[in-house]
Amino acid sequence: MSYWAEKILKILMVTALCWSLSIAAEPLKIEITKGQYSRHPIAIAPFVWEGMGKRPTVDVASVITYDLKRTGVFAPIPQSDFLSDPTFGGNVRFKVWRTLGADSLVLGRIIPDAKKGLVIEFDVFDVFKGNLLGDFQISIPDRSQLRNASHYISDIVYQKITGKRGAFNTQMSYIKAGYDKNGSKKKLYELIIADSDGEFPQTVFGSYEPLMSPAWSPRHRKIAYVSFEGGKAQIYIQSVETGERKLVRRFKGINGAPSWSPDGKALALVLSKDGNPEVYLLNIASDELLRLTFSSGIDTEPVWTPDGRFIVFTSDRGGSPQLYKVPVTGGKVKRLTYEGRYNSRAVFSPEGRYMAFVHRDQSRNYRIAIQDTHTEEMRLISDGPLDESPSFSPNGDMVLYAAKGVKHMVLKTVGRNGLAETQIVKDGDYRQPSWAPFEKRER
Amino acid sequence: MRNVTILILILGSFALNGCGGGTKPGPAPVEEVGSSEEENGYSDQGGMSDENEDSKAQGAVGKPKFDYESREIGSVGYSLDPEALDDAESPLSQRIIYFEFDNSQMPEKYNDIVLGHSAFLLQNSDYKITIEGHTDEKGSREYNIGLGERRANSVKQVMELSGVAPEQLEVVSYGEEKLADSEPNEVAQAQNRRAVIVYSKK
């Protein structure tokens, strides 16, 4: 069984097993004060191990704490601040947790079960009101699934408290450059899929020529990317499950920057076959091509608005790279960015409200910016100096991007509010991360 | 050895390119759209100095204009036999053209080198070259693919104008995907802004 089939089966097992949902309680409101977001203080107690043998190596509470902290929405209280060892079940001393400043509390335990493998029970409390928001039980076949289960618990806690779907039990893709294990001096480029926290990386394609710009299809089953194999740029679509690769109709010059339409039937891409880079739409089934841009400058990095009606792209037709939009049927081009002399590589939050992109600030640092499409207000959410390739989490609450580390590029996440910047991979040369959409499997 | 007659092209002097004397007054510098006051005033701030201009490439407002001054020369003065490609002493061994931070136009100082390669291709029609375009690490990757292509094309244009057959010239842009140096300083970044000539047999 392939890694993916195995993984999917395990996820299904986790989700299929029972937990009691009680979504009666209202989601808490996150306070916004003075234009700054205040983080929601939460206490996540160590999950009590009720087995006879050795404790599992994966610390469930630590994984949940790390997950929630990275969102910029939560401020987990360090376990070292806890006043007593919390126990599972029995009366919760809300007053003690209030003294600590916690607004919410998660208590849990892990019980080995001869039939079910491991059973994890956990409760989510509203400390402020002093009541139970929900009690849950999930089972997993064995310890190897504890990390996945922890992300799954994070998702439930996130949903219970914010009212929004959590995006912890998700995946991402990225390109990693490095040298292969044979010790050769040739650079190896790998297309990798990993969990959203960077764990469990799996190479899905490797090449000694550059790979670029991986883009998930909306149904999370295929990745389009650019490959320079043979010394020429070409776009491939690769199935994640079978590994099967299909070459997209290729043209002379640049074949780059693929972006899926929301219905998965078309790709926006960049071709320079007519002399300079222009944005085209390609119908995947019919191979029909529609040219969308007409300028002597560079037109590139197309992305669909989530409603499928427009393409937003980077163009230096005005003298410096800025973002523009054009209807997918072609027509009048409208400029979207005016602040600064460098705004490029847009991406939209899944519900379409926010646009993230690369912005060069006045000190010439390249930083991730977010523009609210309602108010047109722009905010910088990363520090630079060489940040690039923003990608929203499928719930739109976080942004994944690449940043310059000590020498090479690393991957980071930050809350959409600009809080909790976190590096999620160790040293290496990581490029163009792309957060996978929620699983939407067709039957 | 057959003498090769080629046209020398003098690139138009662009204001930002800082071309020296010797050429006739060039066409009006390509207008930069947008204000320039932002570019001044911040260049002294630490870290990323004012070298940080890879994006503001020439040609965004139209095809670069050339100022032609043609003069005939005889041979380039060195061997154009295929063996010369393997001769480390030959000017043909110079195959990297570095670009200014503010510019996708081939700097004038590379005219002789590039015209030497043109002469070689004119004499050896069974050879062809790929011109690789590269950029530094600043900004977004696919935009840099566009910039790299623009650089490679400016070299290609010079060679085409000197009569090299289009079938002998290919362009591929790697943008910032194949850095020459990834150290986070300006010396390294300048090494990355380049076009590289790669020979192969047709």
B60, closest residue in chain A (CA to CA)? A297
Q: Do A298 and B146 touch (CB under 8 A)?
A: yes
Q: What ipTM describes this predicted complex?
A: 0.88
Check whether B64 has a pLDDT greater than 60: no
Check whether B41 has a pLDDT greater than 70: no
Cis bond before residue A385 (omega within 30° of 0): yes
- Residue by residue, DSSP assigns A297-346 as S-EEEEEE-TTSSEEEEEE-TTSS-EEEEEETT----EE---SSS-EEEE
A57-71, A387-401, B22-36: which range is least confident on average? B22-36
Chain B partners of A318 at a C-beta cutoff of 8 Å? Answer: 33-34, 60
C-beta separation of B73 from B25 below 8 A? no
Most A CBs within 10 Å, among B32, B35, B56, B143, to test the A interface = B143
| Beta-carbon contacts of residue B1 (< 8 Å; ≥ 6 apart) | B75, B79, B80, B81
Chain B partners of A388 at a C-beta cutoff of 8 Å? Answer: 139-141
How much is the pTM?
A: 0.83
Structure confidence at residue A320 (pLDDT): 95
List the single residue in B32, B42, B178 with the smallest CB-CB distance to A319. B32
Question: Count of CB atoms within 10 A of residue B143's CB?
Answer: 32
B137 in A contact zone (CB under 8 Å) = yes
Structure confidence at residue A20 (pLDDT): 32
A270, closest residue in chain B (CA to CA)? B142
Please say whether the dihedral angle defined by the alpha carbons of residues A89, A95, A100 and A101, taken in this order, is positive or negative: positive
Give kind and range of the element (H or E) at residue A372: strand A366-372
Check whether A226 has a pLDDT greater than 60: yes
Q: Do A300 and B146 touch (CB under 8 A)?
A: yes
C-beta separation of B114 from B107 below 8 A? no
> Helix (H, G, I), strand (E, B), or coil: what is residue A155?
helix
Q: Do B34 and A272 touch (CB under 8 A)?
A: no
Tokens of A56: 């599992």
Average pLDDT, chain A: 90
Q: Where are the beta strands (DSSP E) in A78-170?
A: 104-113, 117-126, 131-140
C-beta separation of A394 from A349 below 8 A? no
B56, closest residue in chain A (CA to CA)? A320
Averaged pLDDT, A361-383: 96
Chain B partners of A257 at a C-beta cutoff of 8 Å? Answer: 142, 145
**Digit-coded pLDDT (tens) for A124-144:** 999 999 999 999 999 999 999
Q: Do B139 and A344 touch (CB under 8 A)?
A: yes
Backbone dihedral region for residue A319 (phi beyond 0: left; psi -120 to 50: alpha; all else: beta):
left
User: Which stretches of B50-202 are DSSP H helices?
Assistant: 111-123, 141-161, 186-192
Q: Do B172 and A362 touch (CB under 8 A)?
A: no
B166 in A contact zone (CB under 8 Å) = no
Structure confidence at residue A3 (pLDDT): 53
Check whether A346 has a pLDDT greater than 60: yes
**Digit-coded pLDDT (tens) for A241-282:** 999 999 999 999 999 999 999 999 999 999 999 999 999 999
Structure confidence at residue B202 (pLDDT): 86
Distance CA(A188)–CA(A179), nearest Å, equals 5
Chain B partners of A233 at a C-beta cutoff of 8 Å? Answer: 145, 172-173
Structure confidence at residue A162 (pLDDT): 96
Distance CA(A341)–CA(A108), nearest Å, equals 51
Q: Do A296 and B143 touch (CB under 8 A)?
A: no
C-beta separation of A394 from A435 below 8 A? yes
C-beta separation of A401 from A423 below 8 A? no
Please classify residue A377 by burial: count the beta carbons closer than 10 Å to its beta carbon, then call 0-12 exposed, 13-18 middle and 19+ buried. Answer: exposed
Residue type, A346: A
Backbone dihedral region for residue B30 (phi beyond 0: left; psi -120 to 50: alpha; all else: beta):
beta
B171 in A contact zone (CB under 8 Å) = yes
Give, rounded to a whole angstrom, the gap between the first and last alpha carbons of chain B: 21
Measured CA to CA in angstroms, residue B163 lies from A48, A341, B8 at distances of 79, 38, 11
Q: Do B60 and A232 touch (CB under 8 A)?
A: no
Averaged pLDDT, A217-235: 94
Check whether B55 has a pLDDT greater than 90: no
Please classify residue A18 by burial: count the beta carbons closer than 10 Å to its beta carbon, then call 0-12 exposed, 13-18 middle and 19+ buried. Answer: exposed
CA distance A164 to chain B (A): 31
> Helix (H, G, I), strand (E, B), or coil: what is residue A416?
coil
Question: Count of CB atoms within 10 A of residue A416's CB?
Answer: 22
Question: Count of CB atoms within 10 A of residue A185's CB?
Answer: 6
Structure confidence at residue A6 (pLDDT): 55
